[in-house]
Structure 1
């Protein structure tokens, strides 16, 4: 298995079904914080659901329709980044993230997302990378900004989350913009 250094004791690694126990423990540590804006903690509630969720991404990776990576800090799983959608036919993918509260504010998500977006654009030929985020999730919106994404618009009241309607902001970066901004990185 590969590991990519993110600096400061952090690294990015694939997250796979055999890691379900560790993934569930991570989700339990960050459940309330992560669940403020994303439904992952509602989907992963026990070992079986953790294994199923990780397997769904293993299946997506095998079908080349999604990817999942864990962010580790000093060896401990503290978050992740993913391609929820990865459509090679259209050249469009959707990146996303989550993080435990103790790991927040260190730039880990920005660094990890930069790695996977660079791979998607430069290695896989993706033309458009999207970032969908609750309009109330300021930290994730700030990640989109730091990644050089543009705000395409707001889908008003498009999503029901925990019984409440919420707006979703759509951010994106196009391959020429990404390559121009990132240079020879």
Structure 2
């Protein structure tokens, strides 16, 4: 069953391969590619196929973030990285187009995703966010939804700062 989340300003739905051109456009924006890189249509489609497989396997994944009138704004949601940590880590991540940055939308989307995630998944006790050093906008979003700096690490050859929140600390807020 497809998952759709709503907030007063946002609609979040599962990203699909049909969103490949939107993902390419989002990652072509300078402020996104500076931290996350770019995709061509083939790479975006492959990434989205992986997201679809993750939805099927884990029951969670990456959402398209849309305005209530269904304008594509970006993405927010979860990726399971089996190569991180002892048994893999579930990461929350977000990226919004420049027209939507700085207006609280990423925080609103991340908060909605985390609330939904904790309510539906009883097996994952910790969610992380891998943030490139210097990406203060993402640090602000992470901290505003309860994630705290856990460690410095390297992921696929790139330095990252790992922020995390546990189920227990999330509900203690």
Q: TM class, shorter-chain normalised?
A: 0.7 to 0.9
- Please say if 1:178 is aligned against 2:170: yes
CA deviations on 1:122-171 (whole Å, 9 max, x unpaired) are: 2101210111101210000001110111211223xx3578xxxx641111
- Normalising by structure 1, we get a TM-score of 0.78
How many correspondences in the alignment? 167
SS at match of 1:106: coil
Among residues 160, 169, 180, which one is paired with 2:161 in the alignment? 169
The alpha-carbon deviation at position 92 of structure 1 amounts to 4.7
In the superposition, relative to structure 1, how do residues 100 and 124 fare at CA in structure 2: closer, same or farther (>3 Å)?
same
Structure 1 unaligned spans of 5+: none
In the superposition, relative to structure 1, how do residues 57 and 160 fare at CA in structure 2: closer, same or farther (>3 Å)?
closer
The alpha-carbon deviation at position 95 of structure 1 amounts to 0.8
Match in the other structure for 1:121: 118
Match in the other structure for 2:96: 99
Q: Which moved more, 1:18-27 or 1:144-153?
A: 18-27
SS at match of 1:7: coil
Task: Please give the alpha-carbon distance, in whole angstroms, between the structure 1 residues aligned to 2:88 and 2:171.
Answer: 15
In the superposition, relative to structure 1, how do residues 51 and 146 fare at CA in structure 2: closer, same or farther (>3 Å)?
same
The alpha-carbon deviation at position 116 of structure 1 amounts to 1.7
Task: Please give the alpha-carbon distance, in whole angstroms, between the structure 1 residues aligned to 2:119 and 2:81.
Answer: 14
Among residues 95, 104, 112, which one is paired with 2:109 in the alignment? 112
Is residue 80–residue 99 contact of structure 1 (8 Å, CA) maintained in 2? yes
Matches within 5 A, 1:30-49: 31-39=29-37, 41=38, 44-46=39-41, 48-49=42-43
Is residue 92–residue 130 contact of structure 1 (8 Å, CA) maintained in 2? yes
In the superposition, relative to structure 1, how do residues 180 and 59 fare at CA in structure 2: closer, same or farther (>3 Å)?
same
Structure 2 unaligned spans of 5+: none
Task: Please give the alpha-carbon distance, in whole angstroms, between the structure 1 residues aligned to 2:81 and 2:155.
Answer: 21
SS at match of 2:152: strand
Task: Please give the alpha-carbon distance, in whole angstroms, between the structure 1 residues aligned to 2:21 and 2:133.
Answer: 32
Match in the other structure for 1:77: 72
Task: Please give the alpha-carbon distance, in whole angstroms, between the structure 1 residues aligned to 2:129 and 2:19.
Answer: 26
- Normalising by structure 2, we get a TM-score of 0.83
